[in-house]
């Protein structure tokens, strides 16, 4: 059983796209999708409990509520981890952080499970970020850690993740804490998408960096994600 964690709230456009990308996954095994929605009003009601065969989606509404200026990512991840720890954890084969505003290719879950074989953590390096408003992109040369949205891990390292939730950049500290890991250079099976409406994130891809390369025509995005570029262009 795979468990997917999506911390969200107040980002309906992102969640609609995230839902499309998850429903297009070619992974054949059972999946539980934990969606932690901390905004009022909630914007994830459209997701059914059984969105597809062998999948169940569980919406978690935490006691805390997001307000302007808050960063509740860590609290929402902890909410989902608490749920996982309350289940038959021996049946959990892997956990993913599926961020609501990023692009996932149809083979993402399958490829990540192959990369995770024999390891406690797997993550794709050198993330590509694409800003849909600025129509620009850049490749982040993160060679020693993976962005949180590109990580899969075993339940055996939940303690290490929980210990790093106090940091602003969880992914850097989590990857460093786990020793038995596979940090790989892949085929950009997930792309960091920035600039969509809704509350902003804190990662480097959200910043207006001079290193963005122009893609006014949208051709680079088409090369990266093919027909799915229509959702952004």
| Mean pLDDT lowest among 44-58, 166-180, 185-199, 200-214 | 200-214
Rounded-to-integer distance, Cα 191 and Cα 39, Å: 25
Stretch 187-213: mean pLDDT, rounded? 77
Interval 153-176: pLDDT, tens:
999 999 999 999 999 999 999 999
Q: So what's the pLDDT on residue 63?
A: 84
Name the nearest CA neighbour of 24 among 98, 116, 127, 121. Answer: 98
pLDDT at 199 over 70: no
Q: So what's the pLDDT on residue 190?
A: 98
Contact at 8 Å (CB) between 34 and 80?
yes
Q: So what's the pLDDT on residue 5?
A: 98
The mean of the pLDDT values for the chain is 92
pLDDT at 105 over 70: yes
Cα 7 from chain centre: 9
Name the nearest CA neighbour of 150 among 176, 113, 117, 125. Answer: 125
Interval 44-95: pLDDT, tens:
999 999 999 999 999 999 887 765 656 678 999 999 999 999 998 999 999 9
pLDDT at 128 over 90: yes
165: number of Cβ within 10 Å:
15
Interval 217-232: pLDDT, tens:
999 999 999 999 999 9
Rounded-to-integer distance, Cα 215 and Cα 218, Å: 5
| Band of pLDDT at residue 177, cut at 50, 70 and 90 | very high
- The pTM of the full predicted model, rounded to 2 decimals, is 0.94
Q: So what's the pLDDT on residue 39?
A: 84
- Tokens 């978690």 correspond to what residue? 60
Rounded-to-integer distance, Cα 60 and Cα 140, Å: 32
What does CATH list as the number for 2-231?
3.90.550.10
pLDDT at 208 over 60: no
Q: Facing residues of 95 across strands?
A: 3, 153
**Cβ contacts of 98 within 8 Å, gap of 6 or more:** 4, 5, 6, 18, 22, 33, 104, 149
**Domain segments of the chain as ranges:** 2-231
């Amino acid at each position: 059983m795979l468990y997917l964690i999506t911390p969200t709230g107040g980002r309906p456009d992102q969640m609609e796209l995230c839902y499309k990308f998850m429903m297009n996954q070619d992974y054949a095994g059972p999946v539980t999708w934990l969606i932690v929605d901390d905004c009022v009003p909630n914007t994830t009601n459209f997701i059914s409990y059984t969105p597809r065969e062998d999948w169940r989606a569980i919406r978690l509404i935490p006691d805390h509520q997001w307000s302007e200026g808050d960063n509740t990512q860590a609290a929402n991840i902890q909410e989902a981890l608490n749920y996982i720890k309350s289940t038959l954890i021996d049946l959990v084969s892997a956990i993913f952080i599926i961020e609501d505003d990023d692009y996932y290719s149809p083979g993402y879950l399958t490829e990540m499970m192959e990369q995770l074989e024999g390891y406690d953590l797997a993550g794709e390096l050198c993330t590509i970020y694409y800003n849909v408003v600025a129509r620009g992109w850049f490749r982040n040369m993160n060679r020693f850690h993976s962005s949180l949205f590109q990580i899969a891990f075993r339940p055996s390292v939940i303690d290490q993740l929980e210990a790093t939730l106090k940091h602003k950049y969880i992914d850097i500290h989590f990857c460093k804490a786990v020793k038995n890991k596979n940090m790989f250079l892949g085929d950009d099976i997930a792309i960091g998408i920035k600039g969509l409406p809704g509350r902003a994130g804190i990662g480097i891809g959200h910043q207006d960096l001079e290193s963005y390369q122009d893609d006014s025509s949208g051709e680079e995005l088409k090369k990266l994600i093919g027909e799915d570029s229509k959702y952004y262009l």
